[in-house]
Homo-oligomer: A and B are copies of this chain.
Amino acid sequence: MSATRPPAPELQVQRWFNAAVPVTLQGLRGKVVVLHAFQMLCPGCVAHSIPQARKMHELAKGSDLVTLGLHTVFEHHTAMTPVSLEAFLHEYQIKFPVGVDQPGDGHPIPKTMAAYGMRGTPTTVVIDREGRVAQHSFGAADDLALGLFLGQLLKA
């Protein structure tokens, strides 16, 4: 079944927070990666997916499950600069790596967001150990359903 999973495009990130060196999917090959795409002023992200990602990061410590954030600003660009994001990460106590998606060349959708064909925020992308997209969902993901999916993927 996994043969039909498309390869996950490499991240195109302008700047990382909470990471000593830039994070790449290539470097995470062999791990299961959950990519949480969000915008700091997106109400659904703040209410649901940010707390979910934070909990996932805590639960996954010491395991092969890696939690990444991706700040995919596609609207209100001047309102959600890296300076504002940095304060947001501090206030919301986000400790996992968060990358700022590369701005698009001449259009509002940033590059990684475009490469994945994301429809908005929040979007959750699960990448398997072989670097393929195992799940791509737009909107709030249910904790129990996501946990079941990730648990099975970890043991697949």
Among the 9-residue stretches A7-15, A100-108, A148-156, the one with 4 or more Cβ atoms under 8 Å from chain B is A148-156
Q: How many copies does the complex hold?
A: 4
Chain B nearest CB from A58 CB (Å) reads: 9
* A84 adjacent to B90 (CB under 8 Å): no
Interface residues of A, dominant DSSP: helix
Chain B residues within an 8 Å CB radius of A151:
147-155
Query: Is A87 interfacial (CB 8 A cutoff)?
Result: yes
Chain B nearest CB from A30 CB (Å) reads: 17
Chain B residues within an 8 Å CB radius of A47:
47
Q: Kindly supply a per-residue 1/0 record for chain A positions 22-41, scoring 1 wherever the CB is within 8 Å of any chain B CB and 0 otherwise.
A: 00000000000000000011
Query: Is A76 interfacial (CB 8 A cutoff)?
Result: yes
Chain B residues within an 8 Å CB radius of A114:
none
Query: Is A46 interfacial (CB 8 A cutoff)?
Result: yes
Given known A150-B151, A151-B153, contact A144–B79 (CB-CB < 8 A):
no
A residues bordering B, Cβ < 8 Å?
A: 40-43, 46-47, 52, 55-56, 59-60, 65, 75-76, 78-80, 83-84, 86-88, 90-92, 142-156
